[in-house]
Every structure is written in C-alpha cells, then in structure tokens.
Amino acid sequence: MSHLLVDIKALNITFGDKHVLKDFDFSLAKGEIVSVVGESGSGKSISALMSMGLLAPTAEVVNKQALLFGQELESYTQKEWLQIRGKRVSMIFQDPMTALHPSMRVGKQLDEVLVQHTSLSSKERKKLIISALTEVELPSPETSQFKYPHELSGGQRQRVVIAMAMLLEPELIIADEPTTALDKEVEATVLALLEKLVRTKGCALWFISHDLEVVASFSDKVQVLYKGETVEKGSAKQVFDNPQHPYTKGLLACRPPKHGRPYPLPVLADFMDRSGPPIQQELHPPSGDINVLSIRGLNLGYKTKKGLKTTMDWVVRDLDLKLLKGETLGLIGPSGSGKSSIGRAIVGLNEYSCTSFDYEGNPLKIQFIFQDPFSALNGSHRIGRILGAVLKRHQGELSAEERHSRAGALLEEVGLTAEDLAKKPASFSGGQRQRIGIARALAANPKVLICDESVSALDVSVQAQVLNLLNGIKKNRDLSMIFISHDPDVINYMCDRVMILASKH
C-alpha cells in the first residue's frame, strides 16, 4: 500500500469558463510538510477543498488521479465523509468567524467533535478540551471555553479553530492561511505545534499560505502557484535560497525588510515585467514635535456577566498616548492586548474613560480604516453611493455631480478608476476593497488616519502595494497616522515611533 496520504495528478478545476487550476500535481506522505504558496486567486485553496469533499457542485473537475488515503476522492460517500472529517483529516480555515458557530460557546463546539468521533466520558472530554485550548495558548482556557466567538479577539478565535482541528490528532491536517490573524509570537507557537504533530505523531501537513517567509523554516517541500499553474516546486531550501521564477522572486522581495525603511517597497509587477525594483528613498520621522492628539489615563474594559454578578474585564488601564504632526505611531501587541480597542475608542466606537483627551480639530477628521474591508463595506451598494454618502456628510455644499466627480478622483488616488464607481464590493479583490476603504476614509478629508490591521489579511504582494499607497497618501496629504498591527516587520517599516502593548491575561 502506498505511503502517500494524498496523491493528485493532472488536476484541472473550472467554474464555468474560468479555469482556476491547471494540470496540478501534488503528493503528501506521512510525516511530511508540504506548503502550497500563492496569491489570492492562484488556486491554492481549491484543491484542498476538493480533498475535503467541500468543493462546490458547480465546479467541473478533470484529473488523471485524485487519491485520499489510497481511495479515489469521487468514490467517497457522504456518510464516509462525515466519518473522515475531523477524525482522519481536519481543515483549519483562514476566517475563524465563518468557521465557528456564532451562537454556540467555543468549548461546546470542541465538545461536539469529541461526541461525534469518540466514546469519551464528559469528564474526559472536558479535560481534553482544556488541554487543547491551553496548547494553543488561549488565555484563561477554563473561562474562555464558555465564551462565544464574538467575545474573543480575532487571534483568539483562530486559536480555537486550530485547537479544534488538532483535537483528535488526525492523519492529515490541511491548514489554509491559519496564522494570518495571529501575532508573531503566537504564530511561532502554532507553527511549532503543527510541526510537532507531524514529526512526533506521523501525521501530514498540507500548509497553504501567501507568505513564503512563514513557510520557509518548517516546510519539507514548497510548491508555488501563479494563476492556477505551478511555476516552481522543490525542497524549501532550494526554493528560498535559489528561486528561479520571477513570481517567486517577487513574493520574496515584497515583504518589508528587517532593517531600514526604503520607499517604495518592490511589488510583483517589478519582477514579472523584469523592470527590477524601483528607485527608493528612506522614510524618516517628522522633524517637528507638534502634538496632534494627546490622551492621558485611558481606561477601556468590557462588562462580563456571570449569573447575577456583573464584572468589568479591563483591557487597557491608565494608558498615555500622543501623536505628533506628520508622524506614524505604531501600536503592536499580542491578540487581546487592546490595540484595536484603543483605535476604536479614539473614533468613538468603544466606551472609555480618560483623564484628558486633547484634539483641537474636528473629531470627524479622524478616520478609521478597518481590517476586513468586505464586512466594512455595504455589499448591496455601489461604490459611488458608498463614497457619495461620506462626501455628502462631510462636504454638504457639493452638488450630486460634484460628489460623483470627487468620488471618481478618490478612487484614482488609491489606484482604481472612476469606472469602478458603478460596481459593488463583491466585484473587487481583497486588496482592491481595502483601497476602497482607504478612499472612503479620505472622503472626509481627514487629518488623522487610524489603520486597524489594514494589511494583515492581504497577500504579501498586495500588502506592499497598500503600504506604498498609505505612505504616499500620508506624504501628499500631510497626514498623521496610527498604525495597528501584530506584524513587527510591518510596524518597524511603517512607523516612526512604536508603542508595545502587553496582554492583560
């Protein structure tokens, strides 16, 4: 019997007239880690969904061979899939909010997996759940197990999803961008846990990512996809030390450097058209020391109720913060440290108390760019209407025709076109939607921008484009910026000064 858990040859997947995966070959053996790397839309997740029996029925699949555990994928019945998923093969999805049931406590969701696939007693299941949540470093697992997904931070929700996938030590783990929402410390912990499972338990890991740097240290093999085609594959050392394809070279070069702040960052187009990296200049802190925003003694907390008792769970206590004119201030810290809560409090989206809050301008000139542009934009409205509503509120003297013209100019400022005003958010990629979110913030003609993890979910190549865009806008509009991120490389590149927040747990 073959030692390969997954063995795919010449796989082609199409949706209508869109060919998303072309002649894809992939194999994965016990005790092996194989990473598939590429941007959104490259087809890297489609084959994994097929291998879990989760591919949409509208997909047309043609292949020479597609084996899972030595059996043809298309031969599995629905009953067999129910027995396999969660026990023999588990998948870690990128978005924990869609992977978790919003109205069910997280501990109960882990318990359902154990009830479905084991005969363990209630006491044994509870012990295993606490152990799994502790292993992924979820703060206070004994109490966190009783929380609903919305009561956890994005990084904490992802830890729950990872704990659920690892619960029964499956033979095959498919991890689809599992660390995108995690800070670097937790990311390293999770990757070490996944690698330990592979090396000590003999399971296999199919790791999907857009970030070559993430997969470099622990992968046995790497496969690079570009527009549905494999452009490079080999051992991790071979691919990272001596990349051959321009696309691979571009993915490696787009990340912010460990040292220095060269502007602009290289983008994929520089390598795909072989024009080479752009002429760069170094970013420098502002020369003046004029305060734009100053907060003293900031306190932030959330009420939690247990029975008849209501307590305050403090996230931030007695924090002092100041932002200088022309400065980019970075807020970094682990998930749950309060960095996003601080940003939201500044624009009035969170309740807070403080000793003093000094901002002499119009508070509406402080604008917020959200992490997830898809949920931040009204999907039923066209982009022209979305931007027009902001312009009408902040520049009420403009006529409808002038608002339309100004909205088109805003889209062009962020790298889109005026023709895009007629489209809805679903017509755009993640990076393009983030550009629209930036355009919406600029529609208020702000003096301060607060960017909340605004590049964390983007491909590294798109991330470089958005970082270049933000630095260009800041310079051209003479803005100040608060930049919130869990990524130290991005923070060190973007920010003139950094505040490090500690978790309160």
Query: How far does the chain reach from its first CA to its final CA, in angstroms?
Result: 49
In three-state form (DSSP H/G/I as H, E/B as E, the rest C), the secondary structure along 160-228 is: HHHHHHHCCCCCEEEEECCCCCCCHHHHHHHHHHHHHHHHHHCCEEEEEECCHHHHHCCCCEEEEEECC
Model's pTM, two decimal places?
0.85
CA gap 250, 444 in Å, rounded: 35
Do residues 459 and 424 touch, judged by C-beta distance below 8 A? no
Q: Which of 387, 279, 335 is nearest to 162 (CA)?
A: 335
Residue extents of the structural domains in the chain: 1-88+170-250, 100-169, 291-500
Do residues 484 and 331 touch, judged by C-beta distance below 8 A? yes
* Collapsed DSSP state (helix, strand, coil) of residue 18: strand
**Residues present in the chain in total:** 505
Q: How far is CA 132 from the centre of its chain?
A: 23
Query: What pLDDT, on the 0 to 100 scale, is given for residue 431?
Result: 87
* Collapsed DSSP state (helix, strand, coil) of residue 345: helix
Specify the CATH number of the domain 1-88+170-250.
Answer: 3.40.50.300
For residue 396, give every residue at least 6 positions away whose Cβ sits within 8 Å of its Cβ, in sequence order, or none. Answer: none
Query: What pLDDT, on the 0 to 100 scale, is given for residue 123?
Result: 96
Query: Which tokens belong to 404?
Result: 């339309």
Instruction: Give the DSSP letter of residue 266.
Output: P
pLDDT in tens, the chain (505 residues): 458 999 999 999 999 999 999 999 999 999 999 999 998 889 999 999 999 999 989 999 999 999 999 999 999 999 999 999 999 999 998 778 788 999 999 999 999 999 999 999 999 999 999 999 998 889 899 999 999 998 887 778 888 998 999 899 899 999 998 887 677 877 888 888 889 888 888 899 999 998 888 898 899 999 999 999 999 999 999 999 999 999 999 999 999 999 999 999 999 999 998 877 789 999 999 998 999 999 999 999 988 777 788 888 889 999 999 999 999 999 999 878 899 999 999 999 999 999 999 998 899 999 999 988 878 899 999 999 999 999 999 999 999 999 999 999 999 999 999 999 999 999 988 889 999 999 999 999 999 999 999 998 788 889 999 999 999 999 999 999 999 998 999 999 999 999 999 876 5
CA gap 502, 237 in Å, rounded: 35
Max Cα-Cα span within the chain: 75
The reply to whether 1-88+170-250 and 291-500 are identical in fold is: yes
Q: Which of 256, 258, 238, 263 is nearest to 248 (CA)?
A: 238
State the CB neighbour count (10 A cutoff) for residue 15.
13
Which string of DSSP letters, residue by residue, matches 120-143? Answer: --HHHHHHHHHHHHHHTT-SSHHH
CA gap 118, 468 in Å, rounded: 51
Q: Which of 476, 364, 461 is nearest to 414 (CA)?
A: 476
CATH class of segment(s) 291-500: alpha beta
How much is the CA Rg of the chain, to the nearest whole Å? 24
Angle at 181 between CA 180 and CA 185, to 5 degrees: 90
